């Protein structure tokens, strides 16, 4: 079959005799609106060119017009499956600009919720990844547990997906009564649930057949392409920002970095499943060690005063009014604090001009960088494998397109 001029147009480099097909942007396995132009020789993939931008909403531009604390709901909508991790990364950068400290209870709480969010994100990944390949049961199992995590977010903030409960200097408010016990019960029960997922998949011959030796990438290729996180770990390189450059109190808790050996879809699956167990382990230690006390800094120039102070303190009322109308002004400078997100390194490069709105906010989007590996991983495999490979990269288009 020779290629037509229209096909030439969508993939100019395609070879004579190959077939060029368009996959997406409305394809159920692309997890959003990803368009792929695939060049095929028979059923074998010769090349893949990803086309992105269908979900571009200009969040970075919008952030330049909003006060710092009003950027938090915006950045949470980038990676909509791990909202808390996005707002945490943004807030850490702004706190570095401001040079303020969060009290210990606030920091432990941030660790608890960032790990809960990691579990929630991995659960969606596992459910949809398995569904793409044809295993339907894990999807229901994973969403059952994710629902419990979202219920906890709702109990904390009243919102399930995008809590926006982290604020610069700490948290909007402490956890309500009983939530910590609920989380403790969840992490106690969760490892057994992970065993259930593994029982369905890990030794399932169909699953192994579909994922073993598919989409192999070496650690050196990952590093050259700017990929870290579970993909790099799946290729056998034990790197985790929580260990390498500990932020929050990650240097005070014990956890392991799971790694793969081959760097295929199956290894990435094993790494993420193990990461869920490790996240539960971290949360357990956090709950043991979390002290009583305030969750937010008492710097009234940055953190709004508690509601009860407004009734009897004129100064608090003024601070409250100034913060919610005008905001705070970090000193001129640039800051970048990366964190280990569920998909890799998330960080916000925040540039301040000394005003109350950021001059520039730039995400370091893990999925955007990870997507660059797709052509490399797909070449030489069957067209059906591309679905497994996309699933194993764990892309969220909201973050890629921003």
Partner 1 sequence: MSETTAQEMPERPEVTRIRERFPEAVREVVTFRGDTWIVLNKEYLPDVCRFLRDEPELSYRFLSDIVGIDQLGRREPRFEIVYNLYSFRTFTRLFLKVCVNEGEAVPSVTGIYPGANFPEREVYDMFGIVFEGHPDLRRILMPDDWVGHPLRKDFPLGGEEVVFDRGTLGPSVAEVQTPHPGESFFGKTGLSSRE
Could you list the residues that contact partner 1 (CB under 8 A)? 52-53, 56, 58, 60-62, 64-65, 67, 96-97, 99, 223-228, 239, 244-245, 325-327, 329, 331-336, 338, 345, 347, 349, 351, 353-356, 359-360, 362, 364, 368-369, 371-372, 401-402
DSSP secondary structure string for all residues of 82-99? -HHHHHHHHHHHHHHHHT
Ramachandran bin of 240, using left for φ above 0, alpha for ψ from -120 to 50, beta for the remaining angles: beta
DSSP secondary structure string for all residues of 109-124? HHHHHHHHHHHHHHHH
CA separation, residue 118 to residues 52, 67, 121, 195, 256 (Å):
25, 27, 5, 18, 15
Instruction: Compute the distance between CA of residue 141 and CA of residue 44 in angstroms, rounded to an integer.
Output: 34
Instruction: Compute the distance between CA of residue 262 and CA of residue 101 in angstroms, rounded to an integer.
Output: 42
Residue with smaller CB distance to partner 1, 69 or 392: 69
Residue with smaller CB distance to partner 1, 138 or 347: 347
Residue with smaller CB distance to partner 1, 49 or 180: 49
Residue 206 C-beta: closest distance to partner 1, Å: 34
Residue 388 C-beta: closest distance to partner 1, Å: 22
CA separation, residue 354 to residues 70, 97, 180, 359 (Å):
17, 10, 38, 9
Residue with smaller CB distance to partner 1, 276 or 346: 346
Residue 347 C-beta: closest distance to partner 1, Å: 7
Residue 144 C-beta: closest distance to partner 1, Å: 36
Residue with smaller CB distance to partner 1, 103 or 338: 338
Contacts 24+ apart (CB under 8 A), 320-323: 323/69
Residue 117 C-beta: closest distance to partner 1, Å: 21
In three-state secondary structure terms, 125 is: helix
CB 217 within 8 A of CB 380: no
Residue 327 C-beta: closest distance to partner 1, Å: 8
Residue with smaller CB distance to partner 1, 53 or 191: 53
């Amino acid at each position: 079959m020779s290629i037509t001029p229209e096909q030439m147009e969508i993939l100019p480099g395609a070879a004579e005799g190959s077939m060029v097909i368009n996959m997406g942007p409305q394809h159920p396995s692309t997890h959003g609106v990803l368009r792929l132009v695939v060049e095929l020789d028979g059923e074998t993939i010769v090349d893949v060119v990803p086309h992105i931008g269908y979900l571009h909403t200009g969040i970075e531009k919008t952030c330049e017009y909003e006060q710092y604390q009003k950027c938090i709901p915006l950045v949470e909508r980038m990676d909509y499956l791990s909202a808390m991790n996005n707002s945490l990364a943004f807030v850490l950068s702004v706190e570095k600009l401001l040079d303020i400290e969060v009290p210990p209870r606030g920091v432990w709480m941030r660790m608890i919720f960032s790990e809960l969010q990691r579990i929630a994100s991995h659960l969606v990944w596992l459910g949809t990844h398995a569904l793409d390949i044809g295993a339907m049961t894990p999807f229901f199992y994973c969403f059952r547990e994710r629902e419990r995590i979202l219920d906890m977010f709702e109990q904390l903030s009243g919102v399930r997906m995008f809590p926006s409960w982290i604020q610069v200097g700490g948290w909007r408010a402490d956890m309500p009564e009983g939530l910590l016990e609920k989380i403790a019960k969840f992490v106690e029960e969760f490892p057994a649930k992970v065993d259930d997922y593994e029982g369905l998949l890990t030794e399932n011959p169909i699953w192994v057949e579909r994922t073993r030796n598919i989409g192999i990438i070496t650690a050196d290729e990952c590093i050259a392409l700017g990929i870290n996180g579970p993909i790099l770990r799946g290729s056998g390189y034990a790197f985790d920002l929580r260990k390498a450059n500990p932020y929050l109190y990650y240097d005070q808790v014990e956890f392991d970095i799971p790694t793969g050996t081959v760097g295929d879809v199956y290894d990435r699956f094993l790494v993420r499943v193990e990461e869920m167990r490790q996240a539960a382990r971290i949360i357990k230690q956090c709950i043991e060690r979390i002290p009583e006390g305030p969750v937010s800094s008492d710097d009234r120039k940055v953190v709004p005063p508690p509601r009860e102070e407004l009734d009897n303190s004129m100064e608090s009322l003024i601070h409250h009014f100034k913060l919610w109308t005008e905001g705070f002004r970090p000193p001129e400078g640039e800051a970048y604090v990366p964190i280990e997100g569920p998909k890799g390194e998330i960080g916000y490069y925040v540039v301040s001009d000394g005003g109350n709105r950021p001059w520039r906010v730039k995400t370091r989007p893990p999925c955007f960088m990870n997507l660059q590996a797709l052509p490399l991983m797909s070449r030489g495999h069957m067209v059906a494998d591309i679905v497994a490979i996309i699933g194993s990269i764990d892309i969220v288009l909201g973050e890629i397109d921003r």
